[in-house]
Every structure is written in structure tokens, then in C-alpha cells.
Amino acid sequence: MRAVVQRVTEASVSVDGRVVGAVGQGVLILVCAMQDDSDAEAARLAAKIAKLRVFRDGDGRMNLSVRDVAGAALVVSQFTLAADLRGNRPGFSTAADPAEGKRLYEVFSARLAAEGVPVANGIFGADMAVRLVNDGPVTIWMDTDTL
């Protein structure tokens, strides 16, 4: 699985002008299931993000996790993270098929919640408007192939 994790002071996702998910301090996670991903990748990614120390401690160092700061996660499906950029028009053939992508997105969200992180979600496959205040900015790209 692939993810872009952004430390935020607030984030929300809307569909058809209606907010469907929002968080205050925490992380916005754009996530994509790739072909051949399984529940194991979803669980590993969720565990890594729950423990990822990207929040400032009392000395101003990135030393605390989203759990440590009692933050939350807004999880948004983002199949375009599978983009193949060999040409000028991205291809997405390495993304999981939509049914499996949705299932793994839901597994990822559930595993993140099981790690003790409150989770809000977008709507899989919907045309979403994402708003965020990136804190820092801190933005981290992750791929379970390299974890």
C-alpha cells in the first residue's frame, strides 16, 4: 500500500458540498491499495503510521506520535498514488481493482482505529474536495514495499 501522511492542525473532506469527514489536530492520510496488497500490508501501514513520531515534543523536536498527542486521522482513498509516470499521461494499472481497493481501504481504517487512533473517512471512489492546514509543513510518503 502507499500513503501520503500530512501532519495537520485540521482537515476535512466533502462530497457534493457536504462534509463527510473531519479532524482537528492529527494526520491526513491519502491511501492507495496496490495490486497484490493484502490485509498484512494494510495492518503494517496502519501500525507504522500510528507510531510515526512527527509531532513536536516540549523541546520542539518531532518525537511524538498521533496517539501521543491525542490526535486523529482523516483517511481518504487516493488511487492516483499508483500513478505510472513513464509517459505524460499517468497510468493507474498497478492500483488494486476498485472492489479490492475499497476493501483494503476499509481494513486499513479499521486497523488504524484498532491502534488507538480515532479515524474519520472520506467516501471511497467519490469525487472529494479535501481541505487541510498542513502543520509544519510535514508531509511523508510511505510504501509498504519499503517499510
Mind telling me the catalytic residues? 78-80
Establish whether the linkage from the previous residue to 137 is cis, with ω within 30° of 0. Answer: yes
Name 37's Cβ contacts closer than 8 Å, sequence gap at least 6: 1, 96, 100, 104, 144
Task: Give dist(CA 73, CA 135) in Å, integer.
Answer: 14
Residues forming beta bridges with residue 51, ordered by sequence position? none
Q: Is 59 helix (H, G, I), strand (E, B) or coil?
A: coil
